[in-house]
C-alpha cells in the first residue's frame, strides 16, 4: 500500500513545487515509456513478417525503420519545443489551410497512395505523409484559435457557431472520402471536447453530438464494407475466416496472454495469423506476450498523459491571463491522445468495430509517431510557459 501511496503522491503533486523542473516530468516520462514499449513490440511483432517477406528478407527491417521514425520524431519534437506557443496561435489559419489542402491532395489520383483500398498517404520519395494525422493536431489548434478569437463567446448561431460546424464538417467529410472513419471519429471527439470546454450552449453540443451519431449510423448503412465490419464486430466467430478474421485472431491473442502473458517474443498470433500485427493491432501482441498486466501499464501511461495534460496543464493555462488558447490546445491534445488510445484498445478487445487507428507512440508508422511527438512537445511547451509566467517571466 505504501508503494501506491507514493505513486499517487508523485502523480498528483505539482513537480514545480518540489524541484526546479519547468516541464511536467510525469507527461514526459509516460510518453518516453510508451515509445520504448513501442520499440520493443514493433520488433517482436514484425520479425516474422520481415524475415519471410521475399522483398525484404531482413528481420530488422521494420525495427530499423521504426527507430528512424523515432529519431525524426525526437528531432521534430525538440525543434517544435523551441517555438513559443504564440506561434501556433498566429499561424492557426495557415495551419488549417495547409491541412485542408493536404486532405484534398491525398484524394487526387497519382498524388495520394492507395493501400488496402484506402487513399490516405502522400508519397515524397521514400517518405509517406498521412494527412489525417496532421488533421487531428490541426483541428485542436484551429478550433482553439477560433473560439478564443471571439471575446464575447459563441453566442450567435449563424455568425459564431455555424462557421465552426462548417470547418468540422469539411475536415470530417474529406477524411471520410479517403475513407478513414477512425480518424474522423477522433477528430469528432477532439472537436466535441473543445466545444464543451469553451462553455457554449449545451443544446448546441447535444445537437452536434446527435448529428454526428446519426451521420455515423447512415455512413455504416450506406457502405457495404462498413456494414460487414459492424456485423463482423457483433459476432466475429460467425465468419471467423472472413469478415471476422482479424478480430477473432486479435481476441485469440488477448485470450492466450491471460493475466501475465506468454513471455516476450513468444506470441503465436504474430506468426502470419494476425494482420497488421505491428501497426493497428500491436496491442494484441502486447496483450499476448505481457498479458492483462502489460495492457494495464499501457492504459495507465496514457491516462497519466491525459490527466496531467487536461487537468494540470490545461486548467493552469486557463487560470493565467491571456492563456485560454493554450489551455484549449493542451486539453485538445490530451483528449486526442487518450481517445485514440481507447479506440485502439477497444478495437483490439472487440468492444468497437475495426477502425484502422494506430496506438500513439507505440504502433509502427512514421506520420503517427512524428505528429504525436510534435503534439507532446506543444503540450510540454504550454506547461513550460505556464511555470515561467508563475515565476514572473514575461512570455511573448
What's the confidence (pLDDT) of residue 203?
A: 77
Burial 180-205 (b: 16+ CB within 10 A, else e): bbbbbbbbbbbbbbbbebbebeeeee
Cell numbers linked to 240: 471467423
With a cut of 90, say whether residue 361 has pLDDT above it: yes
Q: Is the pLDDT of residue 20 over 60?
A: no
Q: Which grid coordinates belong to 33? A: 515509456
State what percent of residues in the chain have pLDDT above 90. Answer: 42
The Cα–Cα gap between 156 and 152 comes to: 10
Instruction: Categorize the per-residue pLDDT at 16 as very low, low, confident or very high, splitting at 50, 70 and 90.
Output: very low
Average pLDDT, the chain: 85
With cut-offs at 50, 70 and 90, classify the pLDDT of residue 10. low
Q: What is the dihedral of CA 129, 132, 138, 144, to 10 degrees?
A: -160
Q: How confident is the model at residue 8 (pLDDT cuts 50, 70, 90)?
A: low
Q: Taking residues 377-382, what's their average pLDDT? A: 96
Look at 13-27, 99-113, 173-187, 235-249 and tell me which has the smallest mean pLDDT: 13-27
Phi first, then psi, for residue 115 (nearest 5°) are -135, 125
Q: Which residue has the cell 464538417?
A: 169
Do 176 and 219 meet the contact criterion of CB atoms below 8 Å apart?
yes
Per-residue pLDDT reduced to its tens digit, 250-307: 889 999 999 999 999 899 888 888 887 888 899 999 999 999 999 999 999 999 999 9
Position 19 scores a pLDDT of: 46
List pLDDT tens digits, range 169-200. Answer: 899 888 888 878 888 888 888 988 888 887 77
What own/partner pairs with CB < 8 Å and gap ≥ 24 does 266-274 have? 267/44, 267/45, 270/44, 270/45, 270/46, 270/47, 270/48, 270/49, 271/48, 272/48, 272/49, 272/52, 273/249, 274/246, 274/249, 274/250
Nearest-angstrom CA–CA distance, 178 and 107: 7
| pLDDT given at position 75 | 96
pLDDT average, residue stretch 106-112: 84
pLDDT at 12: 55
> What percentage of residues in the chain have a pLDDT greater than 70?
88
Answer whether residue 5 shows pLDDT above 70. Answer: no
Average pLDDT of the segment spanning 335-341: 94
In the predicted structure, residue 217 carries a pLDDT above the cut 70:
yes
pLDDT at residue 117, rounded to an integer:
66
DSSP class per residue in 230-297:
HHHHH-GGGGTTTTTHHHHHHHHHHHHHTTT-S-TT--STTTTTSTTTTTTTHHHHHHHHHHHHHHHH
Q: Please state the rounded mean pLDDT for residues 229-239.
A: 69
Give pLDDT, residue 384. 94
pTM: 0.89
Position 104 pLDDT exceeds 80:
yes
Q: For residue 349, what pLDDT is reported?
A: 87
Amino acid at each position: 500500500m505504501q508503494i501506491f501511496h507514493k505513486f499517487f503522491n508523485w502523480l498528483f503533486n505539482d513537480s514545480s513545487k518540489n524541484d526546479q523542473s519547468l516541464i511536467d516530468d510525469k507527461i514526459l516520462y509516460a510518453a518516453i515509456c510508451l515509445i520504448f514499449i513501442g520499440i520493443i513490440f514493433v520488433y517482436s511483432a514484425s520479425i516474422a513478417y520481415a524475415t519471410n517477406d521475399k522483398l525484404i528478407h531482413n528481420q530488422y527491417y521494420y525495427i530499423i525503420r521504426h527507430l528512424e521514425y523515432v529519431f525524426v520524431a525526437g528531432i521534430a519534437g525538440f525543434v517544435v519545443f523551441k517555438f513559443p506557443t504564440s506561434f501556433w496561435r498566429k499561424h492557426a489559419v495557415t495551419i488549417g489551410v495547409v491541412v485542408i489542402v493536404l486532405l484534398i491532395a491525398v484524394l487526387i489520383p497519382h498524388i495520394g497512395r492507395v493501400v488496402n483500398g484506402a487513399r490516405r498517404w502522400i508519397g515524397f520519395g521514400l517518405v509517406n505523409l498521412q494527412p489525417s494525422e496532421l488533421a487531428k493536431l490541426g483541428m485542436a489548434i484551429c478550433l482553439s484559435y477560433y473560439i478564443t478569437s471571439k471575446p464575447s463567446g459563441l453566442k450567435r448561431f449563424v455568425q459564431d457557431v455555424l462557421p465552426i460546424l462548417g470547418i468540422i464538417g469539411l475536415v470530417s467529410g474529406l477524411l471520410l472520402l479517403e475513407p478513414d472513419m477512425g480518424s474522423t471519429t477522433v477528430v469528432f471527439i477532439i472537436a466535441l471536447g473543445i466545444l464543451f470546454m469553451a462553455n457554449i450552449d449545451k443544446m448546441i453540443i447535444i445537437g452536434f453530438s446527435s448529428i454526428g451519431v446519426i451521420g455515423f449510423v447512415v455512413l455504416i448503412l450506406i457502405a457495404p464494407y462498413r456494414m460487414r465490419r459492424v456485423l463482423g464486430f457483433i459476432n466475429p466467430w460467425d465468419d471467423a475466416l472472413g469478415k471476422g478474421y482479424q478480430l477473432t485472431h486479435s481476441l485469440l491473442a488477448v485470450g492466450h496472454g491471460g493475466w501475465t502473458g506468454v513471455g516476450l517474443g513468444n506470441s503465436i498470433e504474430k506468426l502470419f495469423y494476425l494482420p497488421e500485427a505491428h501497426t493497428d493491432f500491436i496491442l494484441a501482441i502486447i496483450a499476448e506476450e505481457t498479458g492483462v498486466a502489460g495492457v494495464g501499464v499501457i492504459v495507465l501511461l496514457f491516462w497519466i498523459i491525459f490527466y496531467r495534460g487536461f487537468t494540470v496543464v490545461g486548467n493552469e493555462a486557463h487560470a493565467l491571463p491571456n492563456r485560454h488558447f493554450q489551455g484549449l490546445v493542451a486539453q485538445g491534445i490530451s483528449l486526442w491522445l487518450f481517445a485514440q488510445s481507447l479506440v485502439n484498445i477497444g478495437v483490439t478487445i472487440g468492444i468497437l468495430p475495426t477502425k484502422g487507428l494506430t496506438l500513439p507512440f507505440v504502433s509502427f508508422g512514421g506520420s503517427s509517431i512524428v505528429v504525436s511527438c510534435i503534439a507532446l512537445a506543444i503540450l510540454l511547451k504550454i506547461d513550460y510557459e505556464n511555470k515561467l509566467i508563475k515565476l514572473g517571466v514575461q512570455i511573448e
